[in-house]
Amino acid sequence: MRGSDLLIKCLENEGVTKIFGIPGEENLEVMDSLIDSGIEFILTKHEESASLMAEVAALLTNEPGVCLSTLGPGATNLVTGIADSYLNYVPVIALTGQVWLERAYPPQKQYIDLIELFRPITKASLSVRASSRIPTIVRNAFDIATQERPGPVHLELPEDVMRGIAEGDPLPRSLVEISGGDDSSIDILTKMIESSETPIVLAGRGILRACAQDEFREFVRSLNIPVAHTWMGSGLIPFDDPLSLHSVGLRTHDFMRKAFELSDLVIAIGYDILEFQPVFWNIGIKKKIAYIGVSRAETAPKFSPDIQLVGNMKKILSLLASCNVRKDNWTSELREQLHRRIFGLPPDESPVKPQLAVRAIRDCLGKKDIVVSDVGAHLLWMEKLYPTYAERTLIASNGLLPMGIAVPGAIAAKLICPEKKVVAVCGDGGFLMTSSELETASRLKTPFTTVIFNDGGFGMIKIRQLKNFGRTIGVDFGNPDFVKYAESFGANGYKVSTAKELSEVLMNCLNNDELSVIDVLIDYDENAHLVE
């Protein structure tokens, strides 16, 4: 048995079913071992896409995603997606090839110190320097990646170790049981809720990581406490629930901050600081802060919880749900304003207003279908106007915010959830960064629709340049014919000029389950509202 054979056996033991990546000379043995395994290798057009696909797969499954590259330039191409996973607390295992151990020093062609390259953007960066260590290192990598707060782990695979003779077996996976909160802490928080006049829950993605969404909904509904979820926690409570205050986090000057200004108690549950910085919500009247999480709260300015309930989130929330406290929903007027903003839309004209494009996408998708949003002005419109009704139905980055995530992310979403309709929402700039993955989608027969908000440039940066300086530089560019471009990859291409046309074409694409691209000419001037 080769070292590569043992590596793949260990990955199978960890439950890995897919690896995204591009092979190279230094991982020939690993690729050969995959042929005899039950793991599917997903060949991408670029390693950045592979790392982003692994991240989205992890977001949807709550299990580590895995990506693979060769050494040197292949490994450096993984960096963007791995850094995004690091900031988003997403468990990903990055496998990179490396030269033989005896040649692992500069100057060597394609050699750089990958351990040091990945160290700042991973929870651990490890080299497999002996085949006897493979079972231990792999087991350790998955433990580190999934422990709170989760994140990526890099494994360097020297070519000679993968080629060499190996003995051993995968190590068994251990079941970790997290204890619940103690009774005294439950009592203290219960009294804080009882004495509060304007409590609000700030719900983050940590609830999903703990698989505690059912207990969370039981808690807020039993106590009747309004909920604002972070962008990464979208869908934790359905938008049509009277307690829902929609999403917060991307826009720092939104009217929904009013709820936090008036709140005298914020209960942050499964909340990571990067999701919505405390300086933007710890405002207004003096307030108490409670934190509930699997691990202790992070430290940040204006975030010093009066009490922390740390442990098994499912147990803690279940205990709180039975505390026999019922509050009045004090945010009804704010919720009415929210409804007017989301459903009170401008008239349908050409070019298409982004508000209407978002509405059309929402209307064409079912409550459990998936939309993957890229980064750009459209992302702010999506957060502002796209209501969610189930968790893991709106996928986007809130950490590194890399442009180009939507198309590879949509491929991963369709591979993980083939029964769901999937839409990628991009700006024209972000789309062209990873649009070569349309070939991947066509080859894999993963049908989804990409909606391009086409404004002929980097619209968000252009608006900010105009607002700050009254002039622009480096933000305008030309685009190909997106219809012909899509067709060259075997996809169907469409161009629309009104929201009504978008609705009709998108619905047909989704009903026909086809790989398609819809070019939507967007009213660029509307983006000015995002920086008001």
Report the 3 state secondary structure along 152-170: CEEEEEEHHHHHCECCCCC
The answer to whether the beta carbons of residues 520 and 352 sit under 8 Å apart is yes
| C-beta neighbour count of 326 within 10 angstroms | 11
Q: Is the peptide bond before 149 cis (omega within 30 degrees of 0)?
A: yes
Q: What pLDDT does residue 184 have?
A: 82
Residue with the two structure tokens 């390259």: 117
Distance of CA 143 to the CA centre of its chain: 21
DSSP 399-424: SS--TT-HHHHHHHHHHH-TTS-EEE
* Length reported for the chain: 532
Please state the pTM of the whole predicted model: 0.95
Token look-up 């990955």 returns 11
Give me the architecture of the 3-163 domain, per CATH. Answer: 3-Layer(aba) Sandwich (3.40)
Average pLDDT of the residues of the chain: 94
Mean pLDDT of 209-214: 97
Per-residue pLDDT of 431-487, as tens digits, reads: 999 999 999 999 999 999 999 999 999 988 998 999 999 999 999 999 999 999 999
Q: What is the pLDDT of residue 8?
A: 98
| Comparison of pLDDT for 509 and 464, the residue scoring more | 509
Place of tokens 């279940």: 318
Which tokens belong to 494? 């469409």
Q: How confident is the model at residue 369 (pLDDT cuts 50, 70, 90)?
A: very high
Helix ranges (H only) for 78-163 are 79-88, 114-118, 134-146, 159-163
Q: What is the 3-state secondary structure (H, E, C) of 49-81?
A: HHHHHHHHHHHHHCCCEEEEECCHHHHHHCHHH
| Rounded-to-integer distance, Cα 87 and Cα 521, Å | 33
Tens of pLDDT, residue by residue over 263-297, are 999 999 999 999 999 999 999 999 999 999 999 99
Nearest of 415, 397, 491 to residue 452 by alpha carbon: 491
Q: How large is the average pLDDT for residues 53-67?
A: 99
**In this predicted structure, what is the pLDDT of residue 104?**
67
The C-alpha atoms of residue 255 and residue 100 are separated, in whole angstroms, by 58
Look at residue 22 and give its three-state secondary structure: coil
- Asked if the model's pLDDT at residue 65 lies above 70, the reply is yes
Mean pLDDT computed over 53-76: 98
**320: which 2 tokens?**
């709180």
* Enclosing H/E stretch for 20: strand 18-21
**The domains spanning 3-163 and 345-531 adopt the same CATH topology:** yes
Superfamily assignment of 345-531 in CATH?
Thiamin diphosphate (ThDP)-binding fold, Pyr/PP domains (3.40.50.970)
Strands 265-269 and 199-203: parallel
CA 415 – CA 42 distance, rounded (Å): 10
Nearest to 3 by CA among 146, 101, 112, 140: 101
Q: What is the pLDDT of residue 89?
A: 98
Q: Are 381 and 425 in contact (CB under 8 A)?
A: no
- CA dist 134 and 160 (Å) reads 13
Least Cα distance to 401 among 369, 384, 377 occurs for: 377
pLDDT in tens, 96-120: 999 877 776 778 878 899 999 999 9
In angstroms, the CA 259 to CA 255 distance is 8
Report the distance separating Cα 481 and Cα 532, nearest Å.
33
For the record, the structure tokens of 365 come out as: 């998708």
Digit-coded pLDDT (tens) for 242-268: 999 999 876 655 667 889 999 999 999
Q: Kindly report, residue by residue over 347-360, the tens digit of the pLDDT.
A: 888 899 999 999 99
Instruction: Please report the pLDDT score of residue 477 as a whole number.
Output: 95
Task: Name the helix (H) or strand (E) containing 368.
Answer: none
In this structure, whether the domain defined by 183-331 belongs to CATH 3.30.2270.10 is answered with: no
- Where in the chain are the domains? 3-163, 183-331, 345-531
CA 132 to chain CA mean position, Å: 35
DSSP 8-state symbol, 255: T
Res 251: pLDDT: 63
pLDDT for the residue 103 = 75
Chain segment 487-500, per-residue pLDDT in tens:
999 999 999 999 99
- φ, ψ dihedrals at 476, nearest 5°: -110, 140
